[in-house]
Amino acid sequence: MHEREREELVERLVQWGYLSKRDIIDAFKKVPRHEFIPENIRDYAYADQPLSIGHGQTISAPSMIAIMLESLDLKVGQKVLEVGTGSGYNAALIAEIVGQKGKVFSIERINELADFGRANLDRTGYGWVHVVVGDGTCGYEKEAPWNRILVTACTPKLPEPLLKQLKVKGKLGAPVGQHYMFQTWMVAEKRAKGELKIEERGGCSFVPLVGEYGWKAED
């Protein structure tokens, strides 16, 4: 039942121009999104809309996730850090694309969501993704540098530690802007000598990135 719904969602995302890269299309077809959604709202798993995962947080709409992943040029074998594990769905897609020759770490500040994401990843065969509890605005120095960093909550500016932990030729994608509005999906690429090439890839709306280099909890 869910397979047909998933196929139809992917067909729509391709038709609407959100998905074009083969490896990302295949990942969307394979990863069972409904397994990452709280049971009481699973019927909406294949609608193109963000959904609540509790603790005031959301899993982004599939079209938004497609925009994020298409902008990052992920490749097999890369080492990737995701900031904001939430349900674990995005991390599973990344894992599917980079494969087990790569490494995927995902960092989440809310304990209960880290547990939720980890359980979903384990159950769906992506238990090799490392879920860490902590403030992702500081990155994850222990495993740096990264080929790719994907931030899934909105930051007032690109966090300095994340830019530092990026490899040369590495790319970081993040929503930058205000709380819930006037946000832009930005992609920064680190050039030789550490210069950054920054591109703006359109408007978006995310929950806030709360931490030392993001929003303060009381903001």
CB atoms within 10 A of CB 73: 14
**60 included as an active-site residue:** yes
As measured in angstroms, the least distance from the Cβ of 94 to ligand SAM is 9
Q: Is 96 near ligand SAM (CB under 6 A)?
A: no
- Where helices occur in the chain by DSSP H, the ranges are 2-15, 22-30, 62-70, 89-98, 111-123, 160-164
For residue 186, the tally of other CB atoms under 10 A from its CB is: 22
CB–CB of 1/41 below 8 Å? no
CB of 80 to ligand SAM, least distance (A): 12
User: Least separation, in Å, of the C-beta of 122 and ligand SAM?
Assistant: 15
Binding to ligand SAM, residues 122-151 (CB under 6 A): 135-137
Counting contacts by CB under 6 A, is residue 46 touching ligand SAM?
Answer: no
Is residue 153 close enough to count as binding ligand SAM by CB under 6 A? yes
> Which of 107, 131, 176, 204: binder of ligand SAM (CB under 6 A)?
107
CB 96 within 8 Å of CB 102: no
24: amino acid identity, one letter: I
Largest CA distance in the chain: 52
Among 27, 46, 74, 84, binds ligand SAM (CB under 6 A): 84
- Catalytic site positions: 60
